[in-house]
Amino acid sequence: MALIENLDRGDWREFLGSMFGYTLDVLQNDRYRSAGSAVDDLRAWLARGGVSRVKATLADQTRQRGYTAEKQADILAFVDQLAERHRPQLLELAAQRIIGGHLDAWLAGNGLPPDLLRDIPQRIIAGEQPSPAWADLCGCSDEEISETYRLIDEWLGTHGLKFVPVTLPLARSGAAPPKLWTGRSNAKRVD
């Protein structure tokens, strides 16, 4: 059964939640394996446009099936909750280019304001040290900030840059401070 047909059920939240998590695992571990039509739907939508594509497709399908406005809103709000719950995994899949779509739409769909990220490459090139303040403003946890910087570090490494990780002076939550790339001053091209 297609994903939308399963949302007619009374336990649609449990179903959608388990399918969303399972689909992310499929995308991360073996994205071409056979997994059923509901997973195939989510996999295709995520690959073509991320969470925003999932929401747009479900919005269209729920309207076509005649769901009440309240149930349509509940489904879309639940997708937002799932995206929030699985944000580190979604970020990793996006960094690996497994999840597609326009970056601004993906960021907005995952609760990150694109304007705050747009100037970071220019600031790095100018020798500044980008702060996790933008992520803090968005309500990201220390773990999410740390994961974001890990992905940046990984990307820099795959593009031939060495970097020296440093730690923040204090962690807000008492957790170990995240390691951050400190900017251009310690980046070196690897030949």
Chain-centre distance for alpha carbon 151? 11
The pLDDT value recorded for residue 90 is 86
Q: H helices of 30-64, where?
A: 37-64
The pLDDT value recorded for residue 91 is 80
The pLDDT value recorded for residue 178 is 45
From CA 14, how far away is CA 52, in angstroms rounded? Answer: 21
At 94-144, the pLDDT tens digits run: 877 788 655 555 556 555 555 655 666 666 667 665 666 556 656 777 787
pTM listed for this prediction: 0.56
From CA 57, how far away is CA 42, in angstroms rounded? Answer: 10
Q: What string of pLDDT tens digits covers the 191 residues of the chain?
A: 689 999 998 899 999 999 999 999 999 998 888 888 999 999 999 988 888 889 999 999 999 999 999 999 999 999 999 998 998 888 888 877 788 655 555 556 555 555 655 666 666 667 665 666 556 656 777 787 777 777 777 777 776 665 555 444 444 555 554 444 444 334 444 44
Residue 34 CB burial class (10 angstroms; 0-12, 13-18, ≥19): exposed
The pLDDT value recorded for residue 186 is 42
